[in-house]
Amino acid sequence: KQEVTQIPAALSVPEGENLVLNCSFTDSAIYNLQWFRQDPGKGLTSLLLIQSSQREQTSGRLNASLDKSSGRSTLYIAASQPGDSATYLCAPRGQAGTALIFGKGTTLSVSS
């Protein structure tokens, strides 16, 4: 059974810092991995999708990497802003089925 761990559970940083959110998963046989953002009381917004054959994916100030063999993905946020404050979730998709399995997320707070 796939298990997903996200570290740290919470993170507070001043505006302008570069930061890294970590995601590890126990079953490396994944089809792809998706990073989401969730604002309080809202739904999930897709940030980046990395296919299992890819090593990196970039969108603006966000860069996600994937090391499938070691069961790790990282989300790098450059020059953080208060608007980046949210909970970030990673979710690998397994080979056998098509279900996303979620970690519990990292709650980020960026102060101005």
Q: How are the residues of the chain apportioned to helix, strand and coil, as percentages rounded to the nearest 5?
A: 5, 60, 35
Q: Which of residues 12-51 bind other proteins (CB under 8 A)?
A: 31-32, 34, 36, 42-46, 49
With CB under 8 A as the contact rule, which of the stretches 21-29, 62-70, 71-79, 102-110 interacts with other proteins? 102-110
Q: Are the beta carbons of 33 and 50 closer than 8 angstroms?
A: yes
Q: Are the beta carbons of 79 and 67 closer than 8 angstroms?
A: no
Q: Are the beta carbons of 38 and 21 closer than 8 angstroms?
A: no
Examine residue 8 and say whether the peptide bond preceding it is cis (omega within 30 degrees of 0): yes
> Per rule CB under 8 A, is residue 76 in the interface with other proteins?
no
Comparing CB distances to other proteins, the nearer of 77 and 93 is 93
With CB under 8 A as the contact rule, which of the stretches 20-28, 59-67, 77-85, 97-105 interacts with other proteins? 97-105
Q: Which residues bind other proteins (CB under 8 A)?
A: 31-32, 34, 36, 42-46, 49, 89, 91, 93, 97-105
